[in-house]
Amino acid sequence: MQSYPVIRRFLPAILLTLLGLGLATFLAPREVVEVRDHLTGFPDSDATAHLLRPTVLAALCLIPALAALYYGIVGAIDRYLIRQFMGAFLLCFSSLYSIWLISDLTNNIGNFRESGNTIDFMVKYYAATFPKVFVEFAPFGLLLAMLYSLGKLSRGQEIVSIIQTGRGVVRLIFPLIVMGLIVSLVCLGFNYRWAPSASGYQEALLEQAEMGSLSKARNVVYSAGEERRLWLVGSFPYEYHRGEPLKNIIIRSFTPEGKPEGRLEAKLAEWDRETNNWTFTGVSRWDMTHRLITPDGSKGPISPKLEKNIQDPLVMTQWPETPWKLIKPGLRAEQLGIPGLYSWLVQNRTSEWGNKRRFLTQWHYRWAQPGICLAIVLLAAPLGIVFSRRGAAGGIALAIFMCAGIMFSSTVFLALGESGYIPPVWAAWGTNILATSVALLLIQLRLVGRPIYQTLRKLLPV
């Protein structure tokens, strides 16, 4: 009979483990295929960072089971606090997500209808954007959950009762800090690859619904220095690695002296992975070395000459350019995950044309951003605990104000880091350090019993 309560405590962990393993078995092999395909096109990418993607995805599927295991291990009071907090977090996050969902659906319902299959397109769209939305809204959900759950416990004098059992404030909020850490791990997993890429994929899906094409980048410029060619790609398809053609191509060739030699325009450009040949369709080509002949027989100014009877489609062999090389300059740091950013930094370590500060700042920020969730939990905890009926509203207002300050501080620090005013590592971690310092100060004030809101008001000029 004693084993039944134990089994019931660990039953959620067992069920979530089985569910996570099943989901990992379904998703990880697909991610393995994506990684292999990426490394085939980008052989100079960091293989180790990309090969970790299936492992990170599988670990993401098992994080809920980890939270349930911790819930089963701790005592009754901790389980009660976790239930109150996680219930509030799910409610707050669901409310925030619903508000965003309604707003986004209102703005894009016309594009969804133009996609042809509205329901399937919407499922694909919102499944792809969920990691990005979760990373953006998780800090706000944690803030509201902390304020709601701790405020409710304070009003019912339950916190006072728990403290009278011998627990201090730090021990009381420790299980909530662990839950905040677990949410931070989810954000870190999404930041590894799927949250940053969701932004670009979201834009591409809307473009596909509206225009019938799925573009990963537009107006990409690539200079093949050794080949003396300059590529201008109007539209880069999102599935370029699966053979979809590039659109609206202009290729300018130059002489060894750097003077214009030729100009090739094409509506479509396809690359054959087996032969490395380029096939151009809808072709026009000009000779940029043609000169007009003056009446006295001397050579006049250069006049581009359109070549006639050119083959269409036109096949070019022995060109070393690949779609992966062409798209590199069009990649945005904000839409690259940790493997993509690290590979870019390694490949352009000695390059002078790229803005390495932007990519390095974003790489550090991928690791630092999840820490904001934990910092907000630490900030909200002392402000949500109230030992009297007075001061609750002031603490809540102060918590919301500080959360807004954290988001603003994060934007400012990133801008300073990308502009070169501060080192990238400080730009990424500066907000976390600042927020954690303030949180520790507030916890100290709560430990010594000083009213936080009134104490901080004295520091402000009247």
CA-to-CA distance for 406 and 71, rounded, in angstroms? 30
Range of the domain at 231: 213-326
The answer as to whether 290 is a domain residue is yes
pLDDT at 85: 94
CA-to-CA distance for 196 and 334, rounded, in angstroms? 6
The answer as to whether 293 is a domain residue is yes
User: For residue 169, which of 371, 374, 384, 373 has the smallest C-alpha distance?
Assistant: 384
For 6, the token pair is 């134990």
The answer as to whether 160 is a domain residue is no
254 pairs with which residues across the strands? Answer: 260
Looking at residue 345, its amino acid is L
The answer as to whether 106 is a domain residue is no
pLDDT 10s per residue in the chain (462 long)? 455 577 788 888 999 999 999 999 999 999 998 888 878 767 777 888 889 999 999 999 999 999 999 999 998 899 999 999 999 999 999 999 999 999 988 888 887 887 777 888 888 888 889 999 999 999 999 998 998 888 888 887 888 888 888 788 888 889 999 999 999 999 999 999 899 888 777 776 776 666 555 555 666 777 776 778 888 888 777 666 666 788 888 888 888 877 788 888 888 888 887 777 888 888 888 887 766 555 655 555 566 777 777 887 888 887 888 777 777 666 778 888 899 888 888 877 766 555 788 889 999 999 999 999 999 998 888 887 776 555 555 566 777 787 788 888 888 999 999 888 899 999 999 999 998 888 888 888 777 666 555 555 555 544
The answer as to whether 461 is a domain residue is no
pLDDT at 245: 82
pLDDT at 462: 44
Sign of CA dihedral 434, 440, 443, 448: negative
The answer as to whether 294 is a domain residue is yes
Rounded to two decimals, what is the model's pTM?
0.81
* Structural domains in the chain (count): 1
229 pairs with which residues across the strands? Answer: 224, 253
pLDDT at 1: 44
pLDDT at 175: 93
pLDDT at 289: 75
Burial letters 150-164, b for 16+ CB under 10 A, else e: bbebbeeebbeebee
Looking at residue 350, its amino acid is T
